[in-house]
Structure 1
Amino acid sequence: MSDTYNPDEVEALEPEVLTLPLDAWHRERGGRMVEFAGYWMPVQYEGILAEHLWTRDSAGLFDVSHMGQLHLSGVGVEAALEAVLPIDLRTLKPHGPRYSMLLDEEGGILDDLMVTRWDDGFYLVVNGATKWDDIAHLREHLPDEVTLSHMDESALLALQGPKAAEALERLAPGVSALTFMKGGQFKLAGVDAWISRSGYTGEDGFEISIPAEAAQQVADLICQQPEVKPIGLGARDSLRLEAGLPLYGHDLSPEHSPIDADLLFAVNKRRRSEGGFIGAERVLRDLAEGTAQVRVGLSLDGRQAAREGAEVYAGGEKVGVLTSGGFSPSLQRPIAMAYVDRAQAAVGTALEIDVRGKRLPATVTAMPFVPHRYHR
């Protein structure tokens, strides 16, 4: 899922900013709190660079309780959900999360999300900044027979990194047997927890849904493991960028369809031929005819990073715009994502990025920039 902090966003510190179950816990540990998606959240503890590298080498605990956890159930829920999402639920096995997205009538991306088949319905995790709009969209388009419950009394944690399984197995025996994109119900130090082997950093790891009242107890126990430190939103953004994972509101928006966003895998094979979901007309047209632009990765020469909004050029011709960018702590060089004209999208194409009037050389690069290390 793509709901990560972007350091270029303007932080509007308004009185109605809400707090999450672990708000005091973050502050006690020195978390520097910022407003994000309507909540106070920690952007960092000891520093984004150190936290990023710690997660790549060991295990980091992220509080992602701002995200929306939804439960859908009732008569005809599967068919109703297929009418809204471009997903093939017939092939979705129990307890196996799958990436999908909400589209508008024109095929533009309203949000990206995760869908899991539970024994009593479907569990969705949507982005925090869009969850209220997502809930309204779903309620508008789902029939009355389908019940949508917002699990607002649940917290969500993400334990990410190559030592995540080693640390979590001590607290939730059996969890290390899960493989990537599989989940199940576990007892985590006596607390009922839904745990899936998934995340948004490119690393092995887990997402953990627990009652909000148990969040502090669980976070304490996880961070008592020698492999684990609390990690802020800043490192979550740099990790997902290295992993080539798009961020909603930046790399994904209603202006883009799953096709130019290079997310064809999220429109499952049967749905590409049958359609029958909101926005299908544009998606199938884009698939058949191609799109003018496509999302690509860019590696920049030198040390100077380029940020969202910077224009991309091929010679004197503007061919695209950056949607994400920053300095890669793992690679020690700047990287970015952009939408560029298809004629300039081939890996190895030399381009330039305009940063305050200075042209920075860049090369179209295959993503992910840092290889994924999912446990399959």
Structure 2
Amino acid sequence: MFGNKNGSSRICLRVQLLPLTAALKKTPLFDFHRERGGKMVDFAGWSMPVQYKDSHIASHMHTREHCSVFDVSHMLQTKVHGKDRVKFMESLVVADIAELKDNQTDQGYLYVVSNAGCADKDSAHMKARLAEFKAAGFDVDLEFLDEALIALQGPSMAQVLQEGLKDDLSKLAFMTSTLATVFGVPGCRVTRCGYTGEDGVEISMPQSRVVELTEKLLASSEVKLAGLGARDSLRLEAGLCLYGNDIDETTTPVEATLVWTIGKRRRQTKDFPGAHIIVPQIKAKTARKRVGLVSSGPPVRQHTPILTPDGKVIGEVTSGCPSPCLKMNVAMGYLDAAFAKNGTPIQVEVRKKSVPATVSKMPFVPTKYYSG
């Protein structure tokens, strides 16, 4: 979970890829994906494109070198209204929402984007907490949005998007957002963020206009469609967690090296969910820690055991893939904290054989977020 600087809290987590099943939900771009050769799979109960006619590696590298459009309309978008909206949101997350600055005129709400795989339980949890707040006399309301959401990611994003904006995009820094007309589509919320490690934006808009806007973006030779396959390898190179793999309800921010998500004031007040467990861990450390790993040879995948050089099991890989940019295997996982120092030689067990690996800092590929 993390906050942006426009007075909105974004909950940005992802879930595990599953085999295609019946009765899947469809985004407003479903037919658009099929018409353009998208290979559709079940992702968090949604039919989503895993890739298009280009190979996974080609799509990955195009995003790193140019820019790509990703459909993220399966994410849950919510507005939290009312004068007690900050207090309400801080009862749900660890972030210091009160310190976030609005970079536009006061809209009177917080904008929240939640993980698609957790959408049902997140919305139920928010509704239950809302009932508690209303019963206690607080002024707060929820509005669940039925809008489309796309992400434009890559180094040429600003060049492409600026052509469709009147406002100067250079004034929009990482984790800030603005309301704008984009290539003639009014009422778009443009947030400078993403899940690839590249400079990028997420654009929320009415469902009826998403095909039109996506087509206008694709009119640029810089832009191609990209699917979940490239999105996963891009986020792993950037050292970003995937919900259901690298973090879940049993993982604390300290174990996951995500302490930066917890505001300084929140650590002092200790009034956030799980504070009685998390705050002591910040001071005393934890027995295990999320780390990066690099190796050569056969690819390292989820659930691969992590071993000491003499073969003792000390952890498990949670995500792994061959890095298209680095031409080596990258992975992340949890291991005993005593072995978590960068540069520590370890082993991973691939197909019942021990393969040398090294604990590595993350991100594996430097991130390029735009700070203004």
Same fold? TM cut 0.5 = yes
Alignment match, 2:267: 272
Per-residue CA deviation, residues 110-148 of structure 1 (Å, 9 max, x unaligned), is xxxxxxx96221000011111111111112223124211
**Could you tell me which amino acid in structure 2 is paired with residue 350 of structure 1?**
P
Report the Cα distance in structure 2 between the residues aligned to 1:351 and 1:133, rounded to whole angstroms.
38
Alignment match, 2:112: 124
| Mapping 1:213-252, distance limit 5 Å | 213-252=208-247
Structure 2 SS opposite 1:187 = strand
* Runs of 4+ displaced beyond 3 Å: 1-6
Alignment match, 2:142: 148
Does the alignment pair 1:196 with 2:200? no
**TM-score of the aligned structures, taking structure 1 as reference length:** 0.90
Structure 2 SS opposite 1:35 = strand
User: Post-superposition shift, 1:175?
Assistant: 4.9
**Does the 8 Å contact 2:94/2:262 carry over to 1?**
yes
Per mean C-alpha deviation after superposition, the further-off stretch among 135-144 and 202-211 is 135-144
Change (3 A) 1:370 1:118: farther
Alignment match, 1:289: 284
Report the Cα distance in structure 1 between the residues aligned to 2:348 and 2:72, rounded to whole angstroms.
33
Per mean C-alpha deviation after superposition, the further-off stretch among 67-76 and 255-264 is 67-76
Alignment match, 1:137: 125
Does the alignment pair 1:160 with 2:168? no
Report the Cα distance in structure 2 between the residues aligned to 1:283 and 1:119, rounded to whole angstroms.
33
Alignment match, 2:36: 29
Report the Cα distance in structure 1 between the residues aligned to 2:168 and 2:24, rounded to whole angstroms.
35
Percent identical among aligned pairs is 39
User: Post-superposition shift, 1:189?
Assistant: 2.1
Report the Cα distance in structure 1 between the residues aligned to 2:224 and 2:365, rounded to whole angstroms.
22
**Does the 8 Å contact 1:297/1:338 carry over to 2?**
yes
Q: 1:171 aligns with which of 164, 171, 174?
A: 164
User: Post-superposition shift, 1:180?
Assistant: 1.3
Q: 1:321 aligns with which of 316, 321, 331?
A: 316
Structure 2 SS opposite 1:138 = helix
Alignment match, 1:19: 26
Structure 2 SS opposite 1:321 = strand
**Does the 8 Å contact 1:73/1:120 carry over to 2?**
yes
Report the Cα distance in structure 2 between the residues aligned to 1:44 and 1:11, rounded to whole angstroms.
14
User: Post-superposition shift, 1:173?
Assistant: 2.8
**Does the 8 Å contact 2:14/2:117 carry over to 1?**
no
**Does the 8 Å contact 1:193/1:210 carry over to 2?**
yes
Report the Cα distance in structure 2 between the residues aligned to 1:70 and 1:283, rounded to whole angstroms.
27
**Could you tell me which amino acid in structure 1 is paired with residue 29 of structure 2?**
L
Does the alignment pair 1:72 with 2:80? yes
| Mapping 1:47-66, distance limit 5 Å | 47-66=55-74
Report the Cα distance in structure 2 between the residues aligned to 1:158 and 1:328, rounded to whole angstroms.
22
**Could you tell me which amino acid in structure 2 is paired with residue 311 of structure 1?**
P
**Could you tell me which amino acid in structure 2 is paired with residue 363 of structure 1?**
T
User: Post-superposition shift, 1:90?
Assistant: 2.3
Report the Cα distance in structure 2 between the residues aligned to 1:253 and 1:189, rounded to whole angstroms.
38
**Does the 8 Å contact 2:305/2:349 carry over to 1?**
yes
Report the Cα distance in structure 1 between the residues aligned to 2:234 and 2:193, rounded to whole angstroms.
14
Report the Cα distance in structure 2 between the residues aligned to 1:362 and 1:316, rounded to whole angstroms.
13
Alignment match, 1:208: 203
Does the alignment pair 1:186 with 2:180? yes
- Number of aligned residue pairs: give it: 351
Per-residue CA deviation, residues 230-252 of structure 1 (Å, 9 max, x unaligned), is 11110000000000001011101
Alignment match, 1:254: 249
**Could you tell me which amino acid in structure 2 is paired with residue 248 of structure 1?**
Y
**TM-score of the aligned structures, taking structure 2 as reference length:** 0.91
**Does the 8 Å contact 2:307/2:346 carry over to 1?**
yes
Alignment match, 1:109: none
Report the Cα distance in structure 2 between the residues aligned to 1:269 and 1:239, rounded to whole angstroms.
30
**Does the 8 Å contact 2:78/2:142 carry over to 1?**
yes
Change (3 A) 1:95 1:140: farther
Alignment match, 2:3: none
Report the Cα distance in structure 1 between the residues aligned to 2:245 and 2:35, rounded to whole angstroms.
32
